[in-house]
Amino acid sequence: MKLTIQEGNLEYFFFNNRLNRRYLSGLTVKLSPFGLTPANWSLLDYLVQNGQVTNIQIATYWDIEKPTVSANVKQLIKLELIETIPGKDKREKQLILT
């Protein structure tokens, strides 16, 4: 099965891509004085929306590798915006907002 993209859909894709880059650029400027990145902001938003969660839950939701989530978590812990609490077993840690 061959996937074809109609010209109108391709135009929408490029428009959406340009809009997203502008949004992320502006967001980066707004967040940088606080030492935050758009990825940090997204993680904080996810915690606001979902309460306490694990790194694995975030990685699954975003469809990214756990080490990527861990790097963002470390930054937010260092900024004292989130903290970890014990999970169901010794290896699991729950993330919560401070």
Per-residue pLDDT of the chain (98 residues; tens, 9 = 90+): 555 656 667 788 888 889 889 989 999 999 999 999 999 999 999 999 999 999 999 999 999 999 999 999 999 999 999 999 988 888 888 999 99
Say which CATH number the domain at 60 has: 1.10.10.10
In terms of domains, do 60 and 83 share one?
yes
Question: For position 92, what pLDDT does the model report?
Answer: 84
In terms of domains, do 46 and 72 share one?
yes
* Number of domains present in the structure of the chain: 2
pTM of this structure: 0.77
Question: For position 11, what pLDDT does the model report?
Answer: 81
Domain range for 2? 1-34
State how far the Cα of 76 lies from the Cα of 96, in Å rounded to an integer: 11
State how far the Cα of 27 lies from the Cα of 31, in Å rounded to an integer: 6
Q: Cα torsion for 6, 11, 17, 20, to the nearest 10°?
A: -120
In terms of domains, do 58 and 95 share one?
yes
